[in-house]
A and B are shown apart, each in its own frame.
Chain A
């Protein structure tokens, strides 16, 4: 799935190239192998590329719409024949052309493009609609958070000079801005040189819920999603997980780097030391986001040089946020056993077993390769070489999600929603 970054400088003095570059760097943990930068002018010009440094150079004006994702599938941007408008979606979606044509028609006939957008989107209403971002050649922008609201969309500002919209709050932080609003499901913003307008389409809260993986894995620890701190959420799940402990351990270790706050929460709850266990080489790589199994293994292996002295001979509580294929855990347990030499590994997963495919294709899960859906528990323990294996139950997650007043989509875990929303 792609992420959005829209920067709108009200003063034409700004050239946004470097600002877009740093904004994208702050979003690259969400997937960054493809990005598209669109700028207004006589025509809307969109440039696609693989390197953030290169593509961001194209954002030389005071308005830029950018989509970044794992591959070109994740960054679909369509423009009309006359290149007067570009519509970007978070993921491929059959209705995007309809929206594009409706907007192009409104624009050429001097109609109200917000009205055209609202009407086109409400006609195209479907469960799996992605969030959308629009740029016109006149430099108007629309950002809209899908009513299914699987992913977040945040609005921020920089002084009197800029409006910034992004899929994750960290982009606004990193650009020196202030987070101003977490767009509600179905809520959109029209931003132009002399007007900023809020509108709502298809706001149907019954259907909407954030993807659980947004909190569990995707967002950075320093992100705030719909008003909730990702770090605190993860720490609390870690504490919840500690209730499942059955045998004595010496140290608590998190699988880097997403699982660190979970491990900190877990260690706090059982009053055992949390240890740094692994050091990464070559920067942060999101192993789970790789679809190629070999690339994925390379990413995992590069993250895992162990700090032997902290772990040798210790009984270890190993914490991870989720387990999909188990390949990361397998790698970690092999390192802990053979390179470090630990007598016991007790594995704690801060989410329930994954048992179903994502109906929205937000998480690209393949049923055949889901460990929990294919291996019995004792077989899984033997394969992973762990002494015990514990998961959070759906009820555990539901409790934590409710405490934060959230409502999360849990279909891949076998429930429709966790929590109930505010």
Chain B
């Protein structure tokens, strides 16, 4: 079976590893933006090859497809979906696993996703306000309170400003930052011509984040085990937001700090959104879909945003635990015959993924680019771990150079968090920078301390949302302005 995988990073490498184990004897072809040595190797070893193209160009990717006539095409990242690559390939008659551009709107436009949830009154929705023009945004932000400011379009998982504002004595300082940030974000969002709304101001919530991924053919839904990503760049959840510095999973389908009921509710929410989305765009959703969730005191399971693809690095956690034919699953979804399929996992294992990045990531891509790096892969394998190649490019001199984002993901598993953690901590030491440029990773991911912290935070959220549930207050945030009355708008702050 010939499979064309579109995408260049760690997520695609994880997919390549999952796909090549299949009994369908896949030959893997990869359409990637740069020579990712890991992806290239997976392709060559299965008798396929890699193609360097612009993966967001429908014509270029179609050309590769024409050349190899694949039996299945898997679209990894969201940007090719946004740019119509999936649409073009389906139009040409290929069997494609991946959201269409219309369906991918649920990730591309955070305003669309939020509006959908409100229109269909779906559980776990947050209050928001979106802006197309800077003047209106400027006026609004003057009086905004405890909010998050986000780019209204998916922008590589970055640009989110969380401005906790529950203390009036620091409100003015935060208001200053909000104002300046809104200006800055507007000018940054100018380059996206494919969306009307530029920024989103959203109710801030706190709690424990987790990702719920599913595979769907538009009817059947197969949930994947829950995974927790770690968006802060540095240890102990400190520092700027990244695309994810690592993730944990297991044992089994839920995370240790999420209950079965919460998992069920989450899958219900994600499935309802999927239905509503298909109803709106009048198209079947074929591919991977995910809810970036948070267990909050306001709702319990709460939606932060959606992905129209597998999470990166979240999908990497599945590499060691999937026990049946993953390619068959993707293929059945793409052929809209998913009802007869299922996913089996090793429910006793725990997986930890750790990403390594050059200093400069995530805020200064230039600084983080062009550094030669290497990894002693055989030593990593000796530990029973896997290496996924992400933002590294093989160049003419035979060396790998950083491309500005996370360079490798190390995937380790074990019968306990302790075991997987120990392996992962050892495995990351086999990555080296060849020009002395500092690399970083998070030593706390998968540690007992961080897990305990998640338990405590989840328990606190649970105490609050259970009590709100008993009183019929889930999702509600009442604000009383004497003289004006009671309203339901938590975006307003202390400053009048």
Identify the A interface with B (CB < 8 A).
10-11, 13-15, 18-19, 22, 155, 157-161, 163, 174-176, 178, 180-181, 193-198
Contact = CB atoms under 8 A, between A and B. Distances in A.
B162 to A, nearest CB: 4
Nearest to B242: A160
Interface SS, A side: mixed
Contacts of B172: 18
A160 B239 contact: yes
A159 B443 CA distance: 20
A120 B360 CA distance: 27
Interface in B347-396: 359-361, 363-364, 367-368
Contacts of B176: 13, 15
A214 B347 CA distance: 47
Given A160-B161, A161-B163, 8 more contacts: A10-B240, A11-B240, A13-B177, A161-B162, A178-B237, A180-B238, A193-B363, A196-B440
A194 B439 CA distance: 10
B167 A176 contact: yes
A15 B166 CA distance: 19
A160 B169 contact: no
Interface residues of B, number: 38
Contacts of A10: 239-240, 363
A175 B170 CA distance: 8
B236 A181 contact: yes
B160 interface: yes
Contacts, number: 83
A232 B252 CA distance: 38
A18 B172 CA distance: 9
A224 to B, nearest CB: 12
16 contacts: A13-B181, A14-B177, A15-B173, A19-B170, A19-B173, A22-B170, A160-B231, A176-B165, A180-B236, A181-B236, A194-B360, A194-B361, A194-B368, A195-B440, A196-B235, A196-B239
A193 B233 CA distance: 11
B235 A198 contact: yes
Contacts of A13: 176-177, 180-181, 184
Given A160-B232, A175-B170, A194 B161 contact: no
A57 B166 CA distance: 23
Interface of B: 160-167, 169-170, 172-173, 176-177, 180-181, 184, 231-241, 359-361, 363-364, 367-368, 438, 440, 443
A174 B167 CA distance: 8
Contacts of A158: 164
Contacts of B236: 155, 157, 180-181
B173 A194 contact: no
Contacts of A160: 160-162, 231-232, 239-241
Contacts of A19: 170, 173
Contacts of B438: 195, 197
B363 A194 contact: yes
A10 B181 CA distance: 13
A115 B489 CA distance: 51
A176 B164 contact: yes
A194 B164 contact: no
Q: Which of B162, B163, B165, B238 has the most CB of A within 10 A?
A: B238
A10 B231 CA distance: 15
Contacts of A157: 232, 236-239
Ordered nearest first, which 6 A-B pairs have the shortest CB separation?
A: A196-B234, A159-B162, A180-B236, A157-B238, A160-B241, A194-B359
Given A22-B169, A175-B170, A194 B184 contact: no
Nearest to B236: A180
Nearest to B159: A160
Contacts of B165: 176
A165 to B, nearest CB: 10
Contacts of A195: 234, 359, 438, 440
Nearest to B160: A160
A196 B238 contact: yes
Nearest to B457: A178
Contacts of A18: 170, 172-173
Nearest to A14: B177
Contact of A159 (B164, B234, B360): B164
Most-contacted residue by chain B among A15, A160, A178, A180 (CB, 10 A): A160
B184 A176 contact: no
